[in-house]
Amino acid sequence: MLRPFHLAVPVTDLEKARVFYRDILKLKEGRSSDHWVDFDFFGHQFVIHYKEGGNSNNDSNEVDGKAVPVPHFGVVLEWDDFHAFAKAISSHVTFVIEPYIRFEGQVGEQATMFFYDPSGNALEFKAFKDDSQLFAT
């Protein structure tokens, strides 16, 4: 059985980030304090921590002709869930990389999209029609 991961990221405005993850991305909120908030991130433990100055990472790498933000995090969704999620959030986020099919017709073909949270943390959501392609070389 795959165990949940734990990830914590810095945010510059705890309440603004809380609203983004809870109300825009529709993540279930868990425990919290005046400096951090836990969320159920598709079965994984995700925590936002208030940090003055927030995220200072603004690097990118080229992948499939697109400037992919580094670092970034996200989750691999089911194919249909990816498309429903993209549609649900499209009017609430500004995509860095709009939903599209990466590596089309090649090994590792996938649907992907990137956007930032209110504190500048880059998120990627992706899906494979064939999950065996996740780690294919």
Residues 118-125, mean pLDDT to the nearest whole number: 95
Residue 58 pLDDT > 70 = no
Name the pTM for this structure: 0.88
Q: What is the pLDDT of residue 57?
A: 62
pLDDT tier at 39 (50, 70, 90 boundaries)?
very high
Residue 56 has a pLDDT of 62
Per-residue pLDDT band at 18 (split at 50, 70, 90): very high
The arithmetic mean of pLDDT across residues 81-94, rounded, is 98
Q: Write down all domains in the chain, each with its CATH number in brackets.
A: 6-50 (3.10.180.10), 59-133 (3.10.180.10)
Question: Which residue pairs, CB below 8 angstroms and at least 24 apart, start in 53-61?
Answer: 53/10, 53/12, 54/10, 54/11, 54/12, 54/119, 54/120, 55/9, 55/10, 55/11, 55/12, 55/119, 55/120, 55/121, 57/120, 57/122, 58/120
CA neighbor of 114 nearest in space, from 40, 78, 60, 47: 60
